[in-house]
Amino acid sequence: MNAFQVKKILVPLDGSKTSFRGLEKAIYFARQCHAEITGLGVAYVPPRMAFEAVENIGSATRKKIDEFLEKAKTISAKNGINFHGEVDHGNPGPKILEYANKWNFDLIVIGSRGAGSKDESFIGSVANHIIQKTRIPTVIVK
């Protein structure tokens, strides 16, 4: 029987408290498994603009993503975890899945609701999309 090994963890980050709680849980798993973490910030771009490159993301949006990825890198480093930050653009749910599948992640750890969630529902649309569409083990953090 093959043991399930976690070596690559994907943590979608949007700067929200919930996404950083997801990072904290991912750090815990990474320490247990000797895994590395990739934080993915996805800037929403309407479909009609999807052909534009990541460099064309508004400078304020790009700066915000870079700031919370740098914060995540610092938190991870303080806990002895190797962290890589990546930025993409498009519709967050599908982009996260595309990235996770392309780079063969072993685990996705995502906050239950992101920065765009204004209601009190348990799970936001992006997290819901992830758990409905992926075959990669996924942890939803409240």
Q: What does the pLDDT look like over 58-68, one tens digit per residue?
A: 777 889 999 99
**Local confidence band at 55 (pLDDT 50, 70, 90 cut-offs):** low
Cβ-based neighbours of 92, under 8 Å, separated by 6 or more: 12, 14, 42, 44, 114, 126
Q: Which fold has domain 8-141?
A: Rossmann fold (3.40.50)
Interatomic CA distance for residues 26 and 66, integer angstroms? 19
The predicted model gives 41-46 an average pLDDT of 83
Encoded tokens for 106: 């072993």
**Local confidence band at 54 (pLDDT 50, 70, 90 cut-offs):** very low
Q: What is the pLDDT of residue 52?
A: 54
User: Where exactly are the structural domains of the chain?
Assistant: 8-141
Mean per-residue pLDDT over the chain, rounded = 88
Q: How many CA atoms lie within 13 A of 139 on its CB side?
A: 20
Q: Which amino acid belongs to residue 27?
A: I
**Local confidence band at 123 (pLDDT 50, 70, 90 cut-offs):** confident
Interatomic CA distance for residues 95 and 102, integer angstroms? 10
Interatomic CA distance for residues 28 and 22, integer angstroms? 10
Q: How many CA atoms lie within 13 A of 22 on its CB side?
A: 29
pLDDT above 80 (res 135): yes
pLDDT above 70 (res 121): no
The predicted model gives 19-24 an average pLDDT of 97
Cβ-based neighbours of 76, under 8 Å, separated by 6 or more: 23, 27, 30, 37, 82, 83
Interatomic CA distance for residues 30 and 17, integer angstroms? 20
The predicted model gives 4-9 an average pLDDT of 92
Q: What is the pTM of this model?
A: 0.88
pLDDT tens, 72-90?
999 999 999 999 999 998 8
Q: What is the pLDDT of residue 61?
A: 85
Cβ-based neighbours of 60, under 8 Å, separated by 6 or more: none
The predicted model gives 4-30 an average pLDDT of 96
